[in-house]
Structure 1
């Protein structure tokens, strides 16, 4: 695992725009952590904001979630998903609204691509033997590159050059180039955002280590390893769809991801084809 001491994290937090958790999310988390959590309180909280309620419903009614019937209101969503699941999805929805200001990139495009990965992760999770909470898959996919938004705001004059340099290199990742340019990277900054928003620990650790190629070889937390392996599959499928090429180091590490998820090459190819079909139909 990447080691981050408190002094370094404090310095980063002061030098980057790290959005505070929205009040609505803080209230939702307080309801979940109370001695006698009330589902109706959370439903009422979400239902007060029509735009937010619609965004939550749109997320869980996505074809990737595979709901047997359409969920039509916030109360129904909370009753079906439960407190923790609803709050985790709420954090993912609110993230898209949190970054505003001068930036080297389009936030709209960043969240569109992150949403694609998040939805693919949910679908992949439904195709493997291990059970991973859908909300954790979705939130990991949406948050995993959120550090890019903060990097793009802080380094708005040069960050696009860093991205272009990384995109022209078929061997090394954006995170490596960020370290060379700025002595930090989007996985580290993204971890800081996720930790500030009090996301589950396993999601925070996956965000921090999603460019750490050796993580699966020494990490013994099964939930983290499953999330990371699903993320790597989704990232590679998105790379294939967008650029018709594999993600960095995919060929060298794909077997490790397959073994973690209990699938083989043909299973992966089936999932890839199914996702292409779903995207064409939606």
Structure 2
């Protein structure tokens, strides 16, 4: 498949530079100088990816991407912007108005590499068979009511935090489930108040927390409880490892990265209960077996694939989707999110190790190398630490 990429920027010299740099690529590039021109181009052409500048006269990048999301939801949206716009960029990514960003000025090959990363990930997320399984299942949670209303409020720049809190509190079942997630999966956060939870963790993480609270509504079985403990602990370890490695608070956009990394296993349990329990038993009988490999031979797909497709369908930020897709193979992740994928990869490994089960995953040396740490360093950091799960 040949991808068509549309670049939008009011600066002709920028477009000229992009055109020159992408002259010999394996995707087709087109160029327009305004949001209005972009929308006219989209009417007559099947565009796969749009890369838009933010600061443009008349119709700025945010307005353009909102229109693209409404009219052409299949198009992957990318922000092209200066370093000064970082706060706005992260807001666009977390409201699902953009899947990735490219900084101005970009480094050599960064533009082409980013587009190729997007194409590679997008191909994996467009598995028609898996989409059909998800769409035809009646065993997955219905997120159409409160979740959609909250998503709309988060994206609405005129809405207040209190509006969102009030909406959550209208459904005490969802409110109590949200508090369960918050109190279990965030190290040091213990609260009985939705408002305190939201103010502490930020609106950025609310969609992930709501999905977690709904998806992990499983029957009370051994593996179901173990999977919940593992996901909660993985999130706690993700936060602690990030802070240890970078000596800084984890960015809000990554604070729920560990929560939904194994959502594919939950989906498999819900849709293929008996079959998947047999797969789990095979892993318990032989800890050397790689779980993803058994899943692939049984279902023709694994938990990483179906989990990431579902999260993408539910419009979670690209970083959360990519963690679900590549947490066992961080070397396959895009450069943009490799940092958080590597950290969750390690958190996943140490979480299973801490829980002392046969589900301990393989740890990749590449993750330690990329993060600039050693296995002995992480082992020493975690030594004698206790975590409430």
TM over 0.5: yes
Residue from 245, 248, 258 that aligns with 1:141: 258
Residue from 189, 210, 214 that aligns with 2:331: 214
Contact 2:348 2:361 (8 Å CA) reproduced: no
Contact 1:104 1:158 (8 Å CA) reproduced: no
The residue aligned with 1:270 is 380
Unaligned regions of 5+ residues in structure 1, if any?
none
Between 1:153-162 and 1:191-200, the stretch displaced more is 153-162
In 2, distance between residues paired with 1:51 and 1:79? 20
- 1:91 pairs with 2:211: yes
Q: 1:26 to 1:149 in 2, by over 3 A?
A: same
Between 1:10-19 and 1:191-200, the stretch displaced more is 10-19
Residue from 57, 78, 100 that aligns with 2:198: 78
* Higher relative contact order structure (alpha carbons within 8 Å, sequence separation ≥ 6): 1
In 2, distance between residues paired with 1:247 and 1:214? 19
- Once the two structures are superposed, residues 257-279 of structure 1 have per-residue CA deviations (whole angstroms, 9 ceiling, x without a partner) of 223333233430133225x3344
In 2, distance between residues paired with 1:161 and 1:133? 39
Aligned with 1:12: secondary structure?
Answer: helix
Aligned positions, number: 266
In 1, distance between residues paired with 2:216 and 2:359? 27
Contact 2:230 2:352 (8 Å CA) reproduced: no
Shift of 1:51: 4.4
Mapping for residues 168-207 of structure 1, pairs under 5 Å: 168-207=285-324
Q: 1:65 to 1:177 in 2, by over 3 A?
A: same
In 1, distance between residues paired with 2:277 and 2:203? 39
Q: 1:24 to 1:115 in 2, by over 3 A?
A: same
Aligned with 2:335: secondary structure?
Answer: coil
The residue aligned with 1:115 is 232
Shift of 1:120: 2.1
Q: Return the structure number with greater strand share.
A: 2
The structure having more radius of gyration, on CA atoms, is: 2
Shift of 1:54: 4.1
Contact 1:20 1:197 (8 Å CA) reproduced: no
In 2, distance between residues paired with 1:62 and 1:13? 28
The residue aligned with 1:153 is 270
The residue aligned with 2:250 is 132
- Once the two structures are superposed, residues 26-45 of structure 1 have per-residue CA deviations (whole angstroms, 9 ceiling, x without a partner) of 11110011131311101111
Unaligned regions of 5+ residues in structure 2, if any?
1-119
Shift of 1:63: 8.7
- 1:19 pairs with 2:128: no
The residue aligned with 2:9 is none
Contact 1:121 1:141 (8 Å CA) reproduced: yes
The residue aligned with 1:259 is 369
Aligned with 1:214: secondary structure?
Answer: helix
Q: 1:18 to 1:62 in 2, by over 3 A?
A: closer
RMSD (Å), alpha carbons: 3.2
TM-score, reference length from structure 2: 0.59
